[in-house]
Amino acid sequence: GGHVRFEDVRFSYDPDREILKGISFDVPAGRTVAIVGPSGAGKSTLSRLLFRFYDVNAGRISIDGQDLREVSQESLRAAIGMVPQDTVLFNDTLAYNIRYGRPQASEEDVQSAAELAQIDGFVRRTPKGYATEVGERGLKLSGGEKQRVAIARTILKNPPILILDEATSALDSHTEREIQDALERVSRGRTTLVIAHRLSTVVGADEIIVLEQGRIAERGTHAALMLRH
Ligand code: ADP
Ligand code: ADP
């Protein structure tokens, strides 16, 4: 399962300014759709609506045909995993932060999630060390490392639906490639909505939707969009 459908979705934070002006698209179960477009176009707003941080003003969002408004908050949180662009970590060990994805998980599962996200080295080495350091100085992790913690957490949580919010911050190109690879591994077989800032990072998406000022300006595969430009 996990077919996500947006049907003529309209939304505004303030009554006098419509942010999404009739958005329709499908993410079939297990597929990947990427939303690209300039800052302020409404990309993050789409993901907030899917999480039901807000409700649509008109139109409908559904998962496997069920209106989001009829899905309990609990099952929605269980069904959707999110790797945000800026992960806020709890003031605790990395292992704790990963386990937050599924508190009952075994030590082995936490470890293998960390391996898939390529942070197993430091989880194993210094969980206690981190705890002490956190107390005094806070977690000293780079943006790329924090994103990998979020990826490991999501792997552990194992949701059928994923929202990936690609980092805008400057990661070096080697780290960026590693993160891309890890994101690709975690999205395989899951219904995935990627919020992206550049066409170049979403080559493998089944469909790319270009959002401009709350409207779909263009849509198609990466190859088709590249041909038109
Ligand atoms: P994107 O992710 O494409 O950069 P957003 O979805 O974050 O765009 O924002 C779309 C528009 O909605 C922007 O004009 C932004 O200023 C506005 N916006 C975002 N969040 C809020 C909010 N909480 N209250 C009012 N306006 C908001
Ligand atoms: P729980 O119900 O277990 O406390 P949350 O509702 O805090 O879980 O979060 C559920 C999922 O949503 C987690 O994967 C978390 O990373 C993500 N999430 C929660 N709040 C936000 C947010 N404001 N922006 C992006 N992702 C979020």
Cβ of residue 63 lying under 6 Å from some atom of ligand 2: no
Assess: ipTM above 0.85. Answer: no
* Whole-number Å distance between alpha carbons of 71 and 63: 9
pLDDT tens sequence across 153-202: 999 999 999 999 876 666 677 877 888 888 888 898 999 999 998 887 78
Cβ of residue 222 lying under 6 Å from some atom of ligand 2: no
Residue nearest to atom 8 of ligand 2 (CA): 77
Ligand 1 atom nearest to 46, measured from its CA? 6
Structure tokens at 204: 């493998």
The pLDDT of 205-220, averaged and rounded, is 96
pTM of the model: 0.82
* Residue bearing tokens 């913690």: 149
Q: What is the largest CA-CA distance in the chain?
A: 54
Cβ of residue 84 lying under 6 Å from some atom of ligand 2: yes
Q: Which ligand is nearest to the CA of 76?
A: 2
Helices (H), 51-172: 73-79, 94-99, 107-116, 120-125, 127-137, 143-157
The pLDDT of 111-131, averaged and rounded, is 65
Query: Please, how many CA atoms are within 13 Å of residue 156, restricted to the half-sphere of its CB?
Result: 28
* Whole-number Å distance between alpha carbons of 99 and 95: 6
Residue type, 162: L
Cβ of residue 196 lying under 6 Å from some atom of ligand 1: no
Segments of the chain assigned E as strands: 4-11, 20-27, 32-36, 58-63, 66-67, 80-83, 161-165, 191-195, 207-212, 215-220
Cβ of residue 48 lying under 6 Å from some atom of ligand 2: no
For residue 45, give the H/E element and its range: helix 43-50
Report which of 27, 123, 117, 41 is spatially closest to residue 79, judged by C-alpha positions: 27
From residue 50, give the alpha-carbon distance in Å to each of 47, 120, 155, 162, 192.
Answer: 5, 31, 20, 10, 12
Q: Collect all residues with Cβ–Cβ distance below 8 Å to 176 and sequence separation of at least 6.
A: 144
Tell me if 156 sits within 8 A of 102, measured CB to CB: yes
Q: Which residues pair with 9 in a beta bridge?
A: 23
pLDDT tens sequence across 18-48: 999 999 999 999 999 999 999 999 999 999 9
Whether the pLDDT of residue 109 is over 70: the answer is: yes
